[in-house]
Amino acid sequence: MKPKDLILEVLDQFGVNISYFTAWKAKGQALVDKYSLAVMGLLHQRRELACEMADNELIPAVRDVIERLEKKHTSPFYHVNAFRATYGGYIFPFDNEEDWGKVKPEDVVQPPPLERHPGRPKKQRG
């Protein structure tokens, strides 16, 4: 149905003038309502399915879904064991903090020496 036809039909049935935009938007709104109803139906079906499952069945089913998603979307290279195997021979852990040397008040960390280059300094762009 075209918007012009809808304008005439609303005028005939209800005696109300509506704008062309309102008539044009009505078709889109009907599709949105139909989609929303379908989504709500799916959510209701899912809720009924979850209610039918016993409590001891629900948790393992969720765990299975999570494990499948993890296997599908994560690479074994990002696991901690792969990281340890990669850097195991090169990076060593720190000692305990208690075994570190104590800092004395006379131990002052100085900044690096300032080096001035000849000529005009370059413009700092930012």
Asked if pLDDT for residue 112 goes beyond 80, the answer is yes
* pLDDT of the residue at 66: 86
Domain boundaries, the chain: 3-87
Total Cβ atoms within 10 A of residue 25? 14
The DSSP symbol for 78 reads G
Q: Across all residues in the chain, what is the average pLDDT?
A: 85
**Distance between CA atoms of residues 47 and 40, nearest Å:** 10
- 33-89: per-residue pLDDT in tens? 999 999 999 999 988 887 777 666 667 778 888 889 888 888 888 888 888 888 888
* pLDDT of the residue at 42: 92
* pLDDT of the residue at 88: 80
**Distance between CA atoms of residues 83 and 76, nearest Å:** 10
**Distance between CA atoms of residues 109 and 100, nearest Å:** 17
Q: Model pTM?
A: 0.33
